[in-house]
C-alpha cells in the first residue's frame, strides 16, 4: 500500500479539508479519523483533526506537505461525538474544521494532551478532629475537618468546591498538619460513593406521573454484577425518547430533572444538563450540587482553560456524573451517556448568533438520537417548534400545571393606559398598586425591556433626534455616567448640549428605560430601596449577588429590571409584577414577535407569588382589547401558542416550513446587494434540479436596520416546505457561493433555522 494521505479538518472558514502526507515514522495502522495532528499552514503551524484517509490527492505530490506531528494516539473524541460534529457542520453548512474548533476546549485546539492530570485526594491526617485547638477560632477550617471526616477515603480535588471547601482552607489545614493531600491515579478511585447528599423531595402527583413516564425509558443499567468498572455503553437501540416537560414556573420541573438524573446515575450513566445562563442563576446550579455526591462538573465562563479541559476530560472519561453548562456544553463527550436535559428550551441563548450558528437545543435532540438516550426539554413557555413536535408525535408531552408547595398562580390584569399621563413610563394606577403591595410588606418587580435612561434624545424645538453615526438607529440616553450609547454597535458619545440643526438648548430625553424608572420610583417611594438589575448594574459579578441577597432577605423593595429578571429566579416575596410596555411585541415586524412577547410576559410573571403569597401581574398597554393580550391574560400561554401555531400554519411559516437566511454586509450598499443578487441567480438556476423547484427565494432586501456599525446589510431568505429540499439546495449552493469572486469582498453568512430575522 502506498503512503496514506490525510484529509485534515483545520479551523478555517473554508468549507473543505486539507490534504497532507502522513507524518514520517508513523505506520498507517496507527492513523485514524479523529486524531489531532499539527501541520504547517501558510507560514505557521496549525492543529487540526484527521477527517479522512485516502491514497490520492488533487494536490500534486511535490506540493503536498507533511504532517509535522501526530498529537494523539487515539481519536480525541468518542465516535458518537465525532458524528455529532460532522452532522452539525453539514446541517448548519459550516466548515468541519471550524465546527470541531467550536466543540473542543481551547487547550485541545492548541495541541495540549487530552489526558487527565493526576488527581489529588485530600484526606484528614489521622488524629485530626473538628474540636482540635488549632482550629478553635477558625470556623471554616473546623467545618472543613468535619466534611473531610465524612470522607474516610478522601475527597478528590474535583469535588472540594461541591462540598463547600476551598483550596485555601485545605492548604491552611495542611500547614497545620491536620490535612494532607495524596496523589492518586484515577483508576483507584472506584470505591462506590453514595449517590445522594440529600434525600429527594416526595414527588407530588403530577411530578410522579411525569417520572413514571420517564424513568422506565432511561435505558438498561450499565453496572455489572461485581459493581466494578462500568462497561462501555452497549450498542442497544430503542432508548431514544424526547419529552417536552411543560410546567408552569414553580411547578417543580427541576425536581423532575433531579430525580431523572438520579435514576440515570443509578444505571451507571451520566447526565448532561444545558441551562441558558449560569452567571444569572447560580442557585439553580447549586441545587444540582446539593443533591448529588458524585462529581457534578460545571462548565462556566469563570473557568481557566485548564479547568475547562479537566472538566471536559472528567466527562469524557466517565469521572463526572453530571455535567452542567450553557450552549457549547452540548459538545461535551460522555463515556456513558444516559440523559440530556435542556432547561428553558425556548430560550434564545441556545442559538449562537455568529460563526457556527447552531441551536444547542436542536443539536441536543440529534445527539440523544445518536447516543440512543432520553432527552427532556423543559419550559414553562415551550417554543412553537417543540409544541409542533408534540403534535406530530415526536415528543411526548408531560405537564405540570400546579405550583409545587401550594403556591397559587398569579392573577393577570391589563391596565389600559390610553390617554393616561405616564411619568417615566409609569401610570398613576400602577404607582398606587405598587404602594399598596409595599405597604403590606411585600416586594414589587417592574419589568422594562430597555436599559438606559431614555431610548431617544429629541430637540423640543425642531424635532431633531440624536442618531448613531454608524447605524440606522437612535442613541439611547444614559445618565450614570451621562452619555449617549448605541445599543447596536456600542459606540458612545457625549450628550449633545445644543441641537445641531436649530441651535436650541431644549433637548429632552423621550420615553423611559430602567434608569429613568429607577430614578422616578426612588423619588416617589422614598421609604423603600429601589434596586435596578440590568446589564449596566451587574457588570461586577458580586453586584448581582449582593442585590439578589437583599431581595432574598425579604424586606419590602422595588426591583426594576430588564429580561435578566425573567430568568430562573425565585423571588418568593414579590407579589406584584408590573410590565411597563407590552405593546412592542404586538407590532413586531418579526413573525416570532407574539410568541416572544407571550414567553417574556409569562416568564416575568412567573417570578411572582410563590409560596403562600398570591401574586398579581399588571400589564400596561394601549391595546387592552388586543386578542393576543386577552388570550394571554385570560387563558394563558397555551392559548397563545395554539393561536400562533394556527397562524403559522396558515401562512406556511416555521415550524410548517423551513428557512435559511443568507446575510451580507459591505462598506457600500451596492456591493452587499450585488453579491446577494448573484447568489440568488445561482440559486434560481439550482431550482432546475429535480425536486428543488419548490424552494422559494425571497429578496434580496435591505436588512430592517440597513446600516449597522458603518456597514450596509442586506439579506436573502430561502424557504422550503421540506427540510430535505432546503438542505439539498444549500448543499449545492454553498460551494458556489464560496467560490464567487464577490464572496471575498463582502462579509456574508448563512443562518439555517434563523431565530432572528434581522
Ligand atoms: P420550576 O423549575 O418548575 O420553576 P422548581 O423545581 O424550582 O420549579 O420548584 C419550585 C419550588 O417548589 C422549589 O422551591 C422547590 O423546592 C419546591 N418543590 C418542588 N417540588 C416539590 C415537591 N414535590 N414537594 C415540595 N416542594 C417542592
Ligand atoms: Zn432643534
Ligand atoms: Zn450604532
Region 323-339: what's the mean pLDDT?
96
Q: Over the stretch 249-261, which tens digit does the pLDDT of each residue have?
A: 889 999 999 999 9
Question: CA 293 → CA 160, 197, 265, 606, distances in Å?
Answer: 11, 5, 11, 31
What element of type H or E holds 713?
Answer: strand 711-720
The residue contributing the CA closest to ligand 1 atom 6 is: 252
For ligand 1, the distance from its centroid to the CA atom of residue 249, given in whole angstroms, is: 9
Mutate to test the pocket of ligand 1, among 254, 288, 341, 342 (most ligand atoms within 8 A of CB): 254
For ligand 3, the distance from its centroid to the CA atom of residue 495, given in whole angstroms, is: 15
- Tally the residues of the chain: 758
User: Residue 158 pLDDT > 80, yes or no?
Assistant: no
What element of type H or E holds 671?
Answer: helix 669-686
| pLDDT range class, residue 61, cuts 50, 70, 90 | confident
| pLDDT range class, residue 189, cuts 50, 70, 90 | very low
Mutate to test the pocket of ligand 1, among 207, 209, 250 (most ligand atoms within 8 A of CB): 250
Q: Over the stretch 240-249, which tens digit does the pLDDT of each residue have?
A: 999 999 999 8
Phi/psi for 562 (5° steps) reads -95, -165
Q: What does the mean pLDDT of the chain come to?
A: 90
Question: CA 736 → CA 575, 632, 644, 730, 748, distances in Å?
Answer: 58, 46, 37, 10, 13
For ligand 1, the distance from its centroid to the CA atom of residue 406, given in whole angstroms, is: 10
Q: What local confidence, expressed as pLDDT, does residue 118 receive?
A: 67
In angstroms, the CA 53 to CA 39 distance is 15
For ligand 3, the distance from its centroid to the CA atom of residue 474, given in whole angstroms, is: 8
Q: What is the DSSP string of 681-707?
A: HHHHHHTTSTT-TT-EEEEEEEEEEEE
Among 74, 67, 68, 90, residue whose Cα is nearest residue 20: 67
Q: What local confidence, expressed as pLDDT, does residue 645 receive?
A: 97
Ligand number, closest to the Cα atom of 476: 3
Q: Over the stretch 133-145, which tens digit does the pLDDT of each residue have?
A: 888 888 889 888 8
Closest ligand 1 atom to 255 CA: 6
| Ligand 1 site, CB within 6 A | 201-204, 207, 247, 249-255, 404-405
Ligand number, closest to the Cα atom of 606: 1
In angstroms, the CA 295 to CA 660 distance is 40
User: Residue 110 pLDDT > 90, yes or no?
Assistant: yes
User: Residue 402 pLDDT > 90, yes or no?
Assistant: no
Q: What local confidence, expressed as pLDDT, does residue 21 receive?
A: 93
Region 678-703: what's the mean pLDDT?
93
- DSSP helix/strand/coil, 545: helix
Q: Over the stretch 205-254, which tens digit does the pLDDT of each residue have?
A: 999 999 999 999 887 777 554 444 555 555 556 789 999 999 998 899 99
Ligand number, closest to the Cα atom of 707: 3
Region 114-126: what's the mean pLDDT?
80
| pLDDT range class, residue 192, cuts 50, 70, 90 | low
Region 425-445: what's the mean pLDDT?
94
For ligand 3, the distance from its centroid to the CA atom of residue 706, given in whole angstroms, is: 11
Matching residue, cell 430625553 = 509
In angstroms, the CA 48 to CA 79 distance is 17
For ligand 3, the distance from its centroid to the CA atom of residue 475, given in whole angstroms, is: 7
| pLDDT range class, residue 407, cuts 50, 70, 90 | low
User: Residue 679 pLDDT > 90, yes or no?
Assistant: yes
| pLDDT range class, residue 128, cuts 50, 70, 90 | confident
User: Residue 734 pLDDT > 70, yes or no?
Assistant: yes
In angstroms, the CA 31 to CA 404 distance is 55
For ligand 1, the distance from its centroid to the CA atom of residue 318, given in whole angstroms, is: 29
In angstroms, the CA 679 to CA 729 distance is 12
**Cα three-residue angle 75-80-81, rounded to 5 degrees:** 70
The residue contributing the CA closest to ligand 1 atom 15 is: 252
In angstroms, the CA 416 to CA 427 distance is 10
Over pLDDT 70: what percentage of the chain? 95
Matching residue, cell 410563590 = 610
Q: What local confidence, expressed as pLDDT, does residue 187 receive?
A: 40
Whether the ω angle into residue 481 lies within 30 degrees of 0, i.e. cis, is yes
**Cα three-residue angle 403-346-648, rounded to 5 degrees:** 110
Of 68-77, 187-196, 442-451, 737-746, where does mean pLDDT reach its minimum? 187-196
Phi/psi for 422 (5° steps) reads -115, 140
Give strand ranges (E) for 335-462: 337-343, 374-379, 396-400, 411-416, 422-423, 426-427, 443-447, 456-459
In angstroms, the CA 218 to CA 211 distance is 11
In angstroms, the CA 346 to CA 655 distance is 14
In angstroms, the CA 678 to CA 740 distance is 9
Q: Over the stretch 490-546, which tens digit does the pLDDT of each residue have?
A: 999 999 999 999 999 999 999 999 999 999 999 999 999 999 999 888 888 788 888
Closest ligand 1 atom to 207 CA: 23
Amino acid at each position: 500500500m502506498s503512503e496514506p494521505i490525510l484529509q485534515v479538518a483545520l479551523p478555517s472558514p473554508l468549507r473543505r479539508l486539507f490534504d497532507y502526507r502522513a507524518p514520517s515514522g508513523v505506520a498507517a495502522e496507527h492513523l485514524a479519523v479523529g486524531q489531532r495532528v499539527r501541520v504547517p499552514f501558510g507560514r505557521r503551524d496549525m492543529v487540526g483533526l484527521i477527517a479522512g484517509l485516502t491514497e490520492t490527492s488533487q494536490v500534486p505530490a511535490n506540493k503536498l506537505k507533511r504532517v509535522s506531528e501526530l498529537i494523539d494516539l487515539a481519536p480525541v473524541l468518542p465516535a458518537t461525538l465525532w458524528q455529532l460534529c460532522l452532522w452539525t457542520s453539514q446541517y448548519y453548512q459550516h466548515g468541519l474544521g471550524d465546527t470541531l474548533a467550536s466543540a473542543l476546549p481551547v487547550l485541545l485546539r492548541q495541541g495540549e494532551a487530552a489526558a487527565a492530570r493526576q488527581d489529588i485526594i485530600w484526606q484528614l491526617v489521622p488524629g485530626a478532629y473538628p474540636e482540635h485547638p488549632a482550629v478553635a477560632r477558625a470556623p471554616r477550617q473546623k467545618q472543613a475537618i468535619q466534611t473531610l471526616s465524612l470522607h474516610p477515603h478522601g475527597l478528590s480535588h474535583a469535588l472540594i468546591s461541591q462540598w463547600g471547601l476551598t483550596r485555601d482552607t485545605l492548604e491552611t489545614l495542611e500547614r497545620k498538619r491536620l490535612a494532607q493531600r495524596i496523589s492518586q491515579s484515577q483508576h483507584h478511585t472506584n470505591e462506590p460513593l453514595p449517590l445522594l447528599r440529600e434525600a429527594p423531595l416526595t414527588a407530588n402527583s403530577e411530578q410522579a406521573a411525569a417520572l413514571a413516564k420517564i424513568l422506565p425509558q432511561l435505558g438498561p443499567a450499565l453496572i455489572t454484577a461485581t459493581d466494578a468498572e462500568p462497561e462501555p455503553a452497549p450498542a442497544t437501540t430503542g432508548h431514544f425518547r424526547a419529552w417536552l416537560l411543560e410546567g408552569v414556573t414553580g411547578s417543580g420541573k427541576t425536581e423532575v430533572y433531579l430525580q431523572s438524573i438520579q435514576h440515570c446515575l443509578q444505571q451507571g450513566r451520566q447526565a448532561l444538563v444545558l441551562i441558558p445562563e449560569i452567571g444569572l442563576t447560580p442557585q439553580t446550579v447549586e441545587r444540582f450540587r446539593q443533591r448529588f455526591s458524585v462529581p457534578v462538573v460545571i462548565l462556566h465562563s469563570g473557568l481557566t482553560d485548564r479547568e475547562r479541559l479537566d472538566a471536559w476530560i472528567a466527562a469524557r472519561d466517565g469521572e463526572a456524573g453530571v455535567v452542567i453548562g450553557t450552549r457549547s456544553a452540548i459538545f461535551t463527550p460522555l463515556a456513558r451517556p444516559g440523559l440530556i436535559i435542556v432547561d428553558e428550551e425556548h430560550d434564545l441563548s441556545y442559538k449562537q448568533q455568529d460563526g457556527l450558528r447552531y441551536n444547542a437545543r436542536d443539536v441536543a435532540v440529534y445527539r440523544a438520537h445518536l447516543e440512543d438516550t432520553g432527552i427532556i426539554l423543559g419550559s414553562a413557555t415551550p417554543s412553537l417548534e417543540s409544541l409542533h413536535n408534540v403534535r406530530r408525535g415526536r415528543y411526548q408531552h408531560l405537564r405540570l400545571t400546579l405550583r409545587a408547595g401550594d403556591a397559587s398562580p398569579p392573577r393577570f390584569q391589563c391596565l389600559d393606559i390610553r390617554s393616561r399621563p405616564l411619568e417615566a413610563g409609569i401610570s398613576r394606577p400602577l404607582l398606587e398598586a405598587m404602594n399598596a403591595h409595599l405597604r403590606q410588606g411585600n416586594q414589587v418587580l417592574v419589568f422594562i425591556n430597555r436599559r438606559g435612561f431614555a431610548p431617544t434624545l429629541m430637540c423640543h424645538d425642531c424635532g431633531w433626534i440624536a442618531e448613531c453615526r454608524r447605524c440606522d438607529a437612535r442613541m439611547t440616553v444614559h445618565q450614570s455616567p451621562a452619555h449617549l450609547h448605541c445599543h447596536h454597535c456600542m459606540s458612545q458619545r457625549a450628550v449633545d448640549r445644543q441641537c445641531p440643526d436649530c441651535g436650541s438648548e431644549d433637548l429632552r430625553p423621550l420615553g423611559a428605560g430602567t434608569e429613568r424608572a429607577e430614578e422616578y420610583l426612588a423619588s416617589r417611594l422614598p421609604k423603600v430601596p429601589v434596586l435596578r438589575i440590568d446589564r449596566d448594574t451587574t457588570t461586577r459579578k458580586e453586584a448581582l449577588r449582593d442585590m439578589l441577597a437583599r431581595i432574598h432577605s425579604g424586606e419590602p423593595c422595588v426591583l426594576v429590571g430588564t429580561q435578566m429578571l425573567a430568568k430562573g429566579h425565585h423571588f418568593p416575596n414579590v407579589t406584584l409584577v408590573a410590565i411597563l410596555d407590552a405593546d412592542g411585541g404586538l407590532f413586531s415586524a418579526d413573525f416570532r414577535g407574539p410568541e416572544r412577547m407571550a414567553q417574556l410576559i409569562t416568564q416575568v410573571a412567573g417570578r411572582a407569588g410563590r409560596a403562600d403569597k398570591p401574586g398579581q401581574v399588571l400589564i400596561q398597554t394601549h391595546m387592552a382589547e388586543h386578542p393576543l393580550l386577552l388570550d394571554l391574560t385570560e387563558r394563558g400561554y397555551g392559548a397563545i401558542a395554539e393561536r400562533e401555531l394556527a397562524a403559522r400554519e396558515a401562512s406556511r411559516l416555521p415550524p410548517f416550513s423551513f428557512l435559511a437566511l443568507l446575510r451580507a454586509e459591505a462598506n457600500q450598499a451596492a456591493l452587499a446587494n450585488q453579491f446577494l443578487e448573484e447568489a440568488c441567480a445561482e440559486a434560481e438556476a439550482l431550482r432546475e434540479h429535480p425536486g428543488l423547484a419548490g424552494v422559494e427565494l425571497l429578496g434580496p432586501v435591505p436588512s430592517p436596520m440597513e446600516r449597522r456599525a458603518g456597514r450596509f446589510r442586506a439579506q436573502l431568505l430561502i424557504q422550503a416546505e421540506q427540510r430535505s429540499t432546503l438542505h439539498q439546495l444549500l448543499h449545492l449552493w454553498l460551494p458556489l457561493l464560496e467560490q464567487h469572486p464577490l464572496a471575498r469582498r463582502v462579509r456574508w453568512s448563512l443562518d439555517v433555522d434563523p431565530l432572528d430575522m434581522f
